[in-house]
Chains A and B, each alone.
Chain A
């Protein structure tokens, strides 16, 4: 995606949008990862068993823990890369919102049953 150096807007120097875009895209990816892991755990017994991190909670423990780790890792990497940059925030936010929308749809059980 198109990157630029730091930006300034009316009223003096402003923070670049890279840090915010990193947090937004990471949140979208984290939600999407959770929905994909939930579907994978629902469809394949081997994955379901491997996602049991805490037996009383079952596969939900692995689905959520793994998704949170993916979210935080992606966020850390993007923050490190984009912190002081201006990025193509429009496209990044559109991607994040698309991932969020897909996540909401993919957790709906009748949709999960289609796979």
Chain B
């Protein structure tokens, strides 16, 4: 069993950072909502509040790690320009997708949207974490801030969901390939 270094980076970006970020959302939204509705605010356990702050900070790190590895590690491989006359475009995913009318939409709609909308996730989540860390249980006193924080958190989820969906589909039709081969395990010979 083996994997190429580029495929491994794609896995780390998508399944490691991106998917983990999306999975973490259910917990974050529940906790943000709970902290916004529990009454009175003094009933909130300080230990739980500290846990949610660390949880949100971890999500911020995951979101930034996802967009930065996407933009600066994987995207250059995706948009690499083949030498003129190259017939096999399998190492050039963007060109491979754009070569056929049945696949060009994965780039012109999918990647063009994903590469920008994805950045709303870390920006929004950084704000959400900052406001929660700053206000903590006191957020309950600020209805307007609470509503905006929850809205931005949902927008962050939507942005990450859009980016994740298109990323998975694009990698299905034109996977990023190449780089050194990493041997994960040696199968039994038949």
Interfacial residues, chain B to chain A (CB-CB below 8 A): 40-42, 67, 71-72, 75-76, 79, 108-109, 112-113, 115-117, 119-120, 123-124, 126-127, 130-131, 134-135, 138-139, 141-142, 144-145, 147-149, 151-152, 155, 158-159
Q: Which of B79, B109, B152 contacts A58 (CB 8 A)?
A: B79
Question: Does A51 sit within 8 A of B, measured CB to CB?
Answer: no
Supposing A89-B144, A104-B158, A104-B159 touch, asked if A24 and B127 sit within 8 A by C-beta, the answer is yes
A31/B144 in contact, CB under 8 A: no
A14-27: CB near B (< 8 Å → 1, else 0) gives 11010111011011
Contact partners of B148 in chain A: CB under 8 A: 20, 24, 89, 93, 96-97
The contact of A26 among B113, B120, B127, by CB within 8 Å, is B127
Q: Once bound together, how far apart are the Cα atoms of A96 and B130, in whole Å?
A: 16
> Contact between A11 and B42 (Cβ–Cβ < 8 Å)?
yes
Q: How far is the CB of A58 from chain B (nearest CB, A)?
A: 6
- The reply to whether the CB of A9 lies closer than 8 angstroms to some CB of chain B is yes
Q: Which residues of B contact A10 (CB under 8 A)?
A: 141
B-side interface mostly? helix
Q: Given the complex of chains A and B, what is the CA–CA distance between A67 and B123 in angstroms? A: 10
With beta carbons under 8 angstroms apart, the residue of B116, B117, B145 that contacts A21 is B145
The tally of CB-CB contacts under 8 A between chains A and B is 115
Kindly report which residue of chain A lies nearest to residue B109, judged by CB atoms.
A109
Query: A15 CA to B141 CA in the complex, in Å?
Result: 9
| Most interface-central of A20, A93, A107 (chain B CB within 10 A) | A20
Contact B41 A11 (CB under 8 A): yes
> What would be 17 A-B contacts, judged by CB atoms less than 8 Å apart?
A14-B138, A17-B142, A19-B131, A19-B134, A20-B135, A20-B139, A20-B145, A27-B124, A30-B123, A34-B119, A34-B120, A34-B123, A64-B71, A93-B148, A96-B148, A107-B116, A108-B113
CB closest residue in chain A, given B115: A60
Contacts A57-B76, A93-B148 hold; do A104 and B155 have CB atoms under 8 A apart? Answer: yes
Chain A 58-98 interface residues, beta-carbon cutoff 8 Å to B:
58, 60-61, 63-64, 67-68, 71, 89-90, 93, 96-97
B71, B79, B127 — most chain A CB neighbours (10 Å)? B127
